[in-house]
Amino acid sequence: MAGDTRRGLGAVLRFLHDRGVVPGEDLVDANAAEALLAEYRRWLTTERSLAAESVRCYANQASKFLAELADPLAASLAGLDAATVTEIMVRHSIRSASVWSAKAFVTAVRSLLRFLHVQGLIPVPLTGAVPTVAGWRLSSLPRGLRGGDVDALLAAHDTATPVGRRDHAVLTVLARLGLRGAEVAALRLADVDWRGGQIVVRGKGSRVERLPLPAEIGQAIAAYLTDGRPTCACASVFVTARAPYRSLSAMAVRAIMGRACQRAGLPRLGAHRLRHTLATDLLRAGSPLAEVGQVLRHRSQLSTAIYAKVDHDTLRTLARPWPGGAR
């Protein structure tokens, strides 16, 4: 809503400026951050080849950093130094709700500072002034859901309505294939190979991979496409329920998951929880870690290694006895 307000204000200021009601400097100051973020998004897309969802996340975090700078923005950037950068980062980290949030901010700000230096908007490279957030790999435990909870989520929507059929199909893909929310949102009609029984997934780093299309997923998608999806020119599988029809965003997928949790009587959970659940269920069913990594399409075995901690029976065989015997 805030972004829409700023864009609307910019249009009003342009109108008034063209008629000489307000001076040009006011227009520049009002739109400086938005214009800079637009250039930053283009740079992430064209120069860094980031996916649309990554661009959205980076720009969202970058806007928080720019909001910490004083007006006029150009002067603040020209005088930006390492001490100011570190102060902003520490202040934001204290306010962060989680380690993950702080790390996301750090990553985005480092990217933004590289962009600003390349564009000549800051005098020196300042990425080294961004402190690292303390965190230990594999320290957390992946949290999966119980089988009954997954079934409750899949049954949460009214499949007699078009929106219910869409949301049910979205959750079925998340739960049975372990896709990320952004990957589900990016599915295109041409990605579903009905004859070959496969589906094309566009993952992180612009990777394109083919996965099998189980009958349950095919039936859910087909039910939505034939009796629920509006007729439109959008090439995405899942589109908005109201015109103008456009592809669902990763945020919309999270909202679908949130509504399903509410209807199923569960606390609000992220769509990624279904990915964790699929991985832990596969491991407990006897699948080796290598196969779990293939299903999740991990590039590194380290990304899959965290799921070893949920296999308690196997871990017990590795545990050494307590010195001196049990007490």
pLDDT by position in tens, the chain (length 327): 444 444 444 555 455 555 555 444 443 444 788 999 999 999 999 998 887 888 988 999 999 999 998 888 888 899 999 999 999 998 887 877 677 788 889 999 999 999 999 999 998 989 999 988 766 554 555 566 777 899 999 999 999 999 999 999 999 999 999 898 989 999 999 999 999 999 999 877 678 889 999 999 999 999 999 999 999 999 999 999 999 999 999 889 999 999 999 999 999 988 888 888 888 877 777 777 777 777 777 776 666 666 555 555 554 554 566 666 554
Known active-site residue 48:
no
* Residue of 17, 103, 204, 309 marked active site: 204
**What are 202's strand-pairing partners?**
208
Classify residue 268 as exposed, middle or buried by CB count within 10 Å of its CB (0-12, 13-18, 19+).
exposed
The one catalytic residue in 165, 166, 254, 275 is: 275
- Indicate if 275 belongs to the active site: yes
SS3 content of the chain, % helix, strand, coil (to 5): 60, 5, 35
pLDDT of residue 325: 56
Instruction: Tokens 């296999």: give the residue.
Output: 311
Angle formed by the axes of helices 272-284 and 162-177, nearest 10° = 40
Please tell me the distance from the alpha carbon of residue 153 to that of residue 269, in angstroms, as a whole number.
11
Q: At what angle do helices 147-154 and 162-177 cross, to 10 degrees?
A: 150
298 tagged catalytic? yes
Is 180 a known active-site residue? yes
Residue 66 has a pLDDT of 92
> Residue 311 has what pLDDT?
54
How far is the C-alpha of 157 from the C-alpha of 204, rounded, in Å? 29
State the Cα torsion 63-65-68-74 to the nearest 10°: -80
Report whether 29 contacts 76 (CB < 8 A).
no
Report in angstroms the alpha-carbon separations of 150 from 8, 78, 147: 42, 52, 5
CATH (residue range 147-313): 1.10.443.10
Q: What is the pLDDT of residue 88?
A: 92
Among residues 259, 272, 284, 309, the one annotated as catalytic is 272
- Residue 59 is predicted with a pLDDT of 93
Q: Which of 273, 276, 297, 298 is catalytic?
A: 298
Q: Return the HEC string of 101-134.
A: HHHHHHHHHHHHHHHHHHCCCCCCCCHHHCCCCC
Domains in the chain: boundaries: 2-129, 147-313
Note whether 204 and 196 are within 8 A (CB). no
Look at residue 23 in the predicted model and tell me its pLDDT.
Answer: 47
Given 180, 273, 276, 297, the catalytic residue: 180
pLDDT at 247: 94
Strands (E), 176-325: 192-193, 198-202, 208-212
